[in-house]
Chain A
Amino acid sequence: MKNILVIAQNTLKETIRDRILYGIMAFAVVFLMFTVFLGSISLGEDLAVIRNLGLAGIYFFGMVVTIFLGASLMYKEFEKRTLYFILSKPVRHRDVIWGKFLGLVSSVTLTTILMAVVYLAVVAAKGGGVDAVVLEAIALQIAEMGLFVALTIFFSTIAAPLASTLYAILVLYIGHSLSLLTSAVKTKPVIVQKIVLVIYYLFPNLEKFNIRNSVIYGIRIPWPELFLSLAYAIVYIILLLLAATAIFKEREL
């Protein structure tokens, strides 16, 4: 357990000392400011536009940071052979995987909270308040980012950063289209439906984490549903990290 925390802390240091992170964050803040301008040209719909675009922006930049940093996290350790230092010490493979996971989750959570603070400040400046549902949306976004940290760690134990990034984007796309996909094949042949069913169970259903529309209309999400979504993310993360550990153990360094 101690080793997991030591590696997590080092990973957090690694990511928050990465200049690329600040580049992306600067873009995010500029974008959040820009929503004010877009709001002002929308004839009386200021707050709705700011809320809509602001949350989309936090999501977009949050995912960019997550996938970008996650896709190279393990790969760098293999490539640079820094694992030689770690694994020749009394450290287990799973300590490395979980440490990397917790470290990156902490840093993407911090950046998301930072963006959320800027967002709430912009909303407040335009006369809006903080709804509980906004916080729920942010919490679910962090759950989705956690899932993608686990996913990119899993991919980057077997693939190069560019491939991991592409796989992650593919999962992101499919994961948000699952409901659409299943309803679209209702009239198709049984075999096509079966294939889609397999995809449905294999890929994470990411729409569970998207309640940004509810924020616009101020609709609260019931607690059980919220917890179910979080539990879903946690189970998925555990499975991915177990698989990543198993692959990592067998890999020739």
Chain B
Amino acid sequence: MLEISRVEKAYEGRNVVDDLSLAIKKGTVFGFLGPNGAGKTTTIKMIVGLSRPDAGTIRLEGRTPQDPAMRAMIGFMPEAPYFYEYLTGLEFLKFCDSLFPEIDRKPDAVYTKTLAEVGILNAANRLIRTYSKGMRQRLGFAQAVIHDPDYIFLDEPLDGLDPIGRRELKEIIKTLKSRGKTIFFNSHILFDTEELCDEIGIIHQGRLLYSGPIGHFTKGKSLEERFVETVKAASPAKA
């Protein structure tokens, strides 16, 4: 269970996340949707412990993100990730995995299996410097799931991927869901994220406009149509 309660975060005196509360049950795939600059990345950074809320609390199975034991339970894929360019993809994946408290070392086969799943096994021993944007995105995903966490946080996971890449990654997310993983992902693109989510949250200008089952929100219309309606209704009228 992830519980976000009355969280606020301000940058330069402006609340970019305002009084945000969410409760996400274990095993849910939650899509956190909103236009650019809505506060999605700011929120996910607070959840994974990269920044602290100015007010409010975040608890994952009762632990705060500042507790390393909480962060041992999660995987996080940053938005448009940068990497250590001097490492190979395989080295990077091992480096990430070795930051978790595990006693026995895994055989290389575990890493190559994950690299194969995200479709970059053929580049495993190449320097990340030579990777394309899509390959970086796939590697970013791989490091978020390498230690088999129960909770997975993805910031714009489908960004920068071609249609085939998007399909492949969505299939992996569905597989993870079927294995009981809780997945929280940010997206500003709606048209092909709908099929993934059990629940959605809509955020606009730092405020939550809706959260709950996706069906309750769309009421028969397309997600995109309802989204635009909702966001427009919440924006101050433009002169």
Contact = CB atoms under 8 A, between A and B. Distances in A.
A85 B96 contact: yes
B50 A87 contact: yes
Interface stretch (A10-18, A41-49, A141-149): A10-18
Nearest to A16: B86
A81 B41 CA distance: 13
Interface stretch (A89-97, A120-128, A175-183, A184-192): A89-97
A92 B49 CA distance: 11
22 contacts: A2-B101, A6-B95, A6-B99, A10-B95, A14-B84, A82-B82, A82-B83, A82-B84, A83-B50, A85-B81, A85-B96, A87-B50, A88-B48, A88-B49, A88-B71, A89-B100, A90-B69, A91-B68, A91-B71, A92-B68, A253-B45, A253-B50
Interface residues of B, number: 27
Interface string A1-12: 011001100100
Contacts of A83: 50
Interface of A: 2-3, 6-7, 10, 13-14, 17-18, 80-92, 252-253
B82 A88 contact: no
B87 interface: yes
A88 B86 contact: no
B143 to A, nearest CB: 6
Given A10-B95, A253-B51, A90 B86 contact: no
B98 interface: yes
Nearest to B47: A88
B49 A85 contact: no
A81 B81 contact: yes
Contacts of B4: none
B84 A81 contact: no
